[in-house]
Amino acid sequence: MADLVDTAREVARHLLETPLPRRWSHVQAIAAKADRISAAVPIEDRAVLVASAWLHDVGYSPDLVDTGFHSLDGARWLRRERFNERIAALVAHHSCAWLEAEERGLGDVLAAEFPREERVGRHGQREKINNRIAVSSALTRIEPRQPIRFEKKRNMRHRLPR
Ligand SMILES: [Fe+2]
């Protein structure tokens, strides 16, 4: 776990600390939280969870901006740099990125480059999921009274896939 997480932290530091110090502070706080909750996910997922937390906002780095949609820009860069593919997918989809992607006219691009998976729900329904489900579930289990910053998007719920 240490190698992947250490690399992720140093990459994020390099890309964010000097040009975007407030973003770097935010990322440090998120990574600390991910580390605290990592015991709630299977051991084989822990390094990916924490490394993803370190890297989730690298797309804001002036060095990486391409489309201006930080989730996609960061994920594309991580893929080009041959980071773990799950990390790239988690970065691509963090914070319900597909909603913002649609608003920016990049929904099809995000879906094509980083497809969301489909699963069968408890009642037999087919559901789109993305790679943040395990993380958000873990957060919900650990701190059920802590909202996961969905407030700003709650009024867009009617747009969730059926
Ligand atoms: Fe963030």
Share of the chain above pLDDT 90, in %: 67
> Is 132 a residue whose pLDDT tops 90?
no
Q: What's the CA-to-centroid distance between 128 and ligand 1, angstroms?
A: 23
CA of 26 from ligand 1 middle (Å) equals 7
Q: How many domains does the chain have?
A: 1
**123 CA → ligand 1 middle, Å:** 33
Identify the domain containing residue 116 by its residue range: 2-159
Please provide residue 140's backbone torsions phi and psi, each rounded to the nearest 5 degrees.
-65, -40
Cα of 108 to ligand 1 centre, how many Å? 23
- CA 94 to ligand 1 centroid distance, Å: 8
| pTM score of the predicted model | 0.74
Structure tokens that stand for 56 in this block:
């989730």
pLDDT tens digit sequence for 78-131:
999 999 999 999 999 998 899 999 999 999 999 999 987 655 555 666 556 554
- pLDDT of 51 over the 50 cut: yes
In angstroms, the Cα distances linking 1 to 41, 44, 51, 135, 143 are 13, 9, 9, 17, 24
- C-beta separation of 1 from 47 below 8 A: yes
CA angle centred on 12, ends 11 and 17, rounded to 5°: 120
